[in-house]
């Protein structure tokens, strides 16, 4: 066995995907499965797609490029860079966007390749992430005015981000604001806007808590599928949280005032805040670039050099472990 080892349970991830789809379909909401934490891994991504999601969404065009042979609509969820538009048009069908310069560039490449490229115009509803600020109606109108003149662009929808770093929680009021913006745009420009992309797994968490306007017809779900969590990392009762397990190897044991195990994983692979020891009697003490130091004094297990200690991982942890070339990955299809 090679360590550090990340074990990914595809069966549990598939169960999560099916249940997320079920929750969304009950409300006629389309599921864009966000796979950014899986670093373009085809095994995992194919398992998710097989469950019947509507769209495959990722934040890196390099990942979407790897998915080119998977027959499904693909969405880039990071606002594209001007320098990557040619690839964006080639390897995806839909993009979240916010800047007219970028949209014009997309139109240029779409025209070259004879495509109609779909965009979802992002509205910043207060979390100060991507999008045109919701109160700046003039700006929203002027951008849409320009978009509708572009022959190879379809304004497929408007969308918003919630509950990311800015910490804006989706509320009925905020979602209704998106609906109003969409309806105003449709009236003003005599157009039809098909999609309102109403956030992420955080919105899914609120399905039975707040009134989600029925015009919200798309969610971009990542954490709920990968780790069964939603708003503020809260677990969903009907989803698995233990989809991924990390095993790290003990390279030294110290008996001082307490008993410490030094393990061969460090900040280069994953920050210790992202790790959750499965043995509840183990405490994480410290970490540097190369080592993770654990207090194993209270553990009932007898650990020796060469043993592996297992951890659950957070979303951030999964992202960095999947991305690290120093972490072995293995996939299981049965519990
Ligand atoms: C990561 C991301 C998502 C998915 O969020 P989860 O909380 O993982 O469901 C949705 N939209 C955008 C723009 C993202 O960057």
The pLDDT tens digits for 15-41 are: 999 999 999 999 999 999 999 999 999
Residue 225's closest CA among 211, 239, 207? 239
Confirm if 268 and 289 have CB atoms less than 8 A apart.
Answer: yes
**What pLDDT, on the 0 to 100 scale, is given for residue 143?**
98
CA of 159 to the centre of ligand 1 (A): 12
**What pLDDT, on the 0 to 100 scale, is given for residue 82?**
98
Select the more confidently predicted residue: 127 or 252: 252
Q: Is the predicted pLDDT of residue 165 greater than 70, yes or no?
A: no
**What pLDDT, on the 0 to 100 scale, is given for residue 175?**
96
pLDDT band with cut points at 50, 70 and 90 for residue 129: confident
CB-ligand 1 contact for 74 (6 Å cutoff)? no
CB-ligand 1 contact for 220 (6 Å cutoff)? yes
CB-ligand 1 contact for 230 (6 Å cutoff)? no
**What pLDDT, on the 0 to 100 scale, is given for residue 164?**
62
Q: Quick one: residue 131, left, alpha or beta (phi over 0 = left, psi -120 to 50 = alpha)?
A: left
CB-ligand 1 contact for 77 (6 Å cutoff)? yes
Q: Is the predicted pLDDT of residue 219 greater than 80, yes or no?
A: yes
CA of 164 to the centre of ligand 1 (A): 8
Confirm if 331 and 10 have CB atoms less than 8 A apart.
Answer: yes
Distance, CA of 12 to CA of 167 (rounded, Å): 29
Give residue for tokens 């240029």.
108
Dihedral angle over CA of 172, 174, 175, 177, nearest 10: 120
145 Cβ contact partners less than 8 Å away, ≥ 6 residues apart: 189
Distance, CA of 66 to CA of 316 (rounded, Å): 22
Mean pLDDT, the chain, whole residue set: 96
Ligand 1 atom nearest the C-alpha of 59 is 15
Q: Is the predicted pLDDT of residue 335 greater than 70, yes or no?
A: no
Describe the chain by its helix, strand, coil percentages, rounded to 5.
35, 25, 40
CA of 302 to the centre of ligand 1 (A): 41
**What pLDDT, on the 0 to 100 scale, is given for residue 166?**
56
CA within 13 Å, CB half, 116: 7
Give residue for tokens 């109160």.
135
Distance, CA of 319 to CA of 314 (rounded, Å): 9
Ligand 1 atom nearest the C-alpha of 230 is 7
- Mean of the pLDDT values across residues 280-293? 97
CA of 219 to the centre of ligand 1 (A): 9
pTM above 0.85, yes or no: yes
CB-ligand 1 contact for 36 (6 Å cutoff)? yes
**What pLDDT, on the 0 to 100 scale, is given for residue 130?**
87
Q: Is the predicted pLDDT of residue 156 greater than 60, yes or no?
A: yes
Ligand 1 atom nearest the C-alpha of 219 is 10
**What pLDDT, on the 0 to 100 scale, is given for residue 252?**
98
3-state SS class at 191: coil
**What pLDDT, on the 0 to 100 scale, is given for residue 168?**
82
Distance, CA of 125 to CA of 160 (rounded, Å): 7
**What pLDDT, on the 0 to 100 scale, is given for residue 147?**
98
Q: Tens digit of pLDDT for each residue in 57-102?
A: 999 999 999 999 999 999 999 999 999 999 999 999 999 999 999 9
Buried b (16+ CB within 10 A) or exposed e, 85-116: bebbbebbbbbbbbebebbebbbebbbeeebe
Is there a catalytic annotation at residue 36? yes
CB-ligand 1 contact for 159 (6 Å cutoff)? no
**What pLDDT, on the 0 to 100 scale, is given for residue 282?**
98
**Best probe residue, ligand 1, of 48, 58, 198, 220 (max atoms within 8 Å of C-beta):** 220
Buried b (16+ CB within 10 A) or exposed e, 155-175: bbbbbbbbbeeeebbbeeebb
Taking the alpha carbons at both ends of the chain, their separation in whole angstroms is 19
Kindly report the length of the chain: 335
Please identify which of the residues 11, 14, 25, 36 carries the catalytic annotation. 36
Lowest mean pLDDT segment, chosen from 96-100, 103-107, 132-136, 274-278: 132-136
């Amino acid at each position: 066995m090679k360590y550090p080892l990340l074990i990914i349970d595809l069966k549990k991830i598939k169960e999560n995907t099916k249940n997320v789809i079920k929750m969304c379909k009950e409300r006629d909401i389309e599921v864009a499965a966000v796979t950014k934490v899986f670093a373009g891994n085809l095994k995992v991504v194919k398992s998710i797609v097989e469950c019947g999601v509507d769209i495959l969404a990722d934040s890196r065009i390099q990942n979407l490029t790897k998915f080119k042979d998977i027959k499904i609509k693909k969405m880039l969820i990071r606002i594209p860079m001007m320098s990557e538009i040619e690839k964006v048009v080639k390897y995806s069908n839909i993009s979240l966007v916010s800047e007219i310069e970028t949209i014009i560039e997309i139109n240029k490449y779409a025209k070259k390749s004879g495509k109609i490229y779909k965009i979802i115009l992002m509205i910043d509803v207060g979390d100060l992430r991507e999008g045109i600020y919701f109160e700046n109606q003039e700006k929203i109108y002027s951008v849409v005015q320009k978009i509708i003149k572009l022959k190879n662009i379809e304004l497929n929808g408007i969308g918003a981000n919630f509950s990311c770093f800015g910490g804006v929680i989706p509320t009925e009021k905020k979602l209704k604001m998106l609906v109003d913006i969409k309806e105003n745009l449709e009236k003003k420009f005599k157009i039809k806007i098909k999609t309102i992309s109403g956030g992420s797994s955080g919105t899914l968490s609120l399905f039975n808590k707040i009134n989600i306007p029925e015009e919200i017809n798309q969610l971009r779900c990542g954490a709920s599928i990968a780790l069964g969590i939603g708003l503020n990392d809260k677990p969903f009762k009907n989803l698995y949280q233990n989809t991924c397990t990390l095993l790290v190897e003990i390279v030294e044991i110290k008996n001082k005032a307490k008993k410490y195990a030094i393990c061969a994983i460090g900040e280069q692979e994953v920050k210790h805040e992202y790790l959750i020891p499965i043995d509840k009697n183990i405490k994480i003490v410290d970490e540097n670039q190369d080592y993770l130091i654990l207090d194993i004094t209270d553990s009932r297990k007898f650990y020796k050099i060469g043993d592996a200690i297992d951890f659950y991982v957070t979303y951030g942890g999964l992202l960095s472990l999947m991305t690290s070339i120093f972490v072995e990955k293995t996939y299981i299809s049965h519990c």
